[in-house]
A and B are shown apart, each in its own frame.
Chain A
Amino acid sequence: MTVSLVVVSHSAKLAEGVVELAGQMTHGKVAIAAAGGTSDGTLGTSVEHILAALEQVAGPDGTLILLDLGSAVMATEMAVEQFVQSGACPVTISPAPLVEGAVIAAVEASIGNSLAEVADAALGALSLPKLH
């Protein structure tokens, strides 16, 4: 078992794209679920989508949630509150930048690191040099 990831975005396309990009690094070893857009397909975040994604990939090793902007934080917090009430799988919400954070987290999870280690590594994306 490994740490799993959930990618939350206002845009379903963006969430799917980040899952695709992060999944490329893991050779299928890490469960990554997308939770993008609202229930009627418009831009926005959906507590139900996030909860469903969490339930899809959650496990005893834990899940790291990465997100994009603004209301994604509040919707994710509500989904996590509902989820934690119903299970014993640890969940951490990451403040890391979405794309870099998800890719780093996917790599760290794929080598079997713990939830705390994966979360720390994702956070390191904040100081990752992008330009040489």
Chain B
Amino acid sequence: MPITTEDTLRWLGQLARVLQEKRDYLTQLDSAIGDADHGINMDRGFKAVMEKLQGQSEMDIGSLLKLVGTTLVSTVGGASGPLYGTAFLRAGIALAGKRELYPADYIAMLEAAVGGIQARGKAQAGEKTMLDALLPALASAKEAEAARLDIVEITRRASHAAEQGMLSTIPLVATKGRASYLGERSAGHQDPGATSSWLMLKTLADVCAARSKT
């Protein structure tokens, strides 16, 4: 069963709620190694996304994701605005006109999003960034798709790999972003960007899992 426009809207709505709940947690992670605004920024951005999405149930998935991207770019003042903005814009372009996402489309979406973040932030694996959650998620999703698993299992594995990747940022020393000014002192803290990236993939996996049970 593919991911539909309705599922995508449910995902974004649930994600906005999750980011509101985790607002203080993300900000707390960011206050340890950054400028203490990640939770505030993500919550503000997705609240604006929710307003823009009102009554957009007729849109295709590509257009929805592009709208999310432009909204994040214009409402999020930290690094996550340009980074997630570019990710959602590229994902939207990759899925232009689609109203149903099959496993190959999910991979295309994730690949475009991760490629967008790499192009914008010029970071690589192991630099204590979003990519440390997203790159393993993409690799794991590709493997699951190649093994012809269904969308519930592919999204679950991507979420699990992102969580492991997020935890792997704890001992890392940051070399990108505000945390890099802390040098060695950035080690011992979980990266807030990797955490919000995991929350995005986890929420989508939860939506797919809940749907398959009904």
Contact = CB atoms under 8 A, between A and B. Distances in A.
B85 A78 contact: yes
Which applies to chain B's interface (DSSP): helix, strand, loop or mixed?
A: helix
B35 interface: yes
Contacts of B37: 42-44
A37 B78 CA distance: 10
B17 to A, nearest CB: 22
B86 interface: yes
B49 to A, nearest CB: 15
A49 B49 CA distance: 20
A37 B177 CA distance: 18
B75 to A, nearest CB: 7
A56 interface: no
A77 B85 CA distance: 13
A114 interface: no
Interface string A112-126: 000000000000000
Contact of B77 (A38, A69, A77, A78): A38
Given A78-B85, A78-B86, A47 B78 contact: no
A39 interface: yes
A46 B82 CA distance: 9
B82 A78 contact: yes
Nearest to A44: B77
B178 A75 contact: no
Contacts of A60: none
Given A44-B41, A44-B81, A71-B78, 8 more contacts: A10-B77, A43-B35, A44-B77, A47-B82, A69-B178, A71-B77, A71-B82, A74-B83
Interface of B: 35, 37, 41, 73-79, 81-83, 85-86, 120-121, 177-178
7 contacts: A42-B77, A44-B77, A70-B79, A70-B177, A77-B82, A78-B82, A78-B120
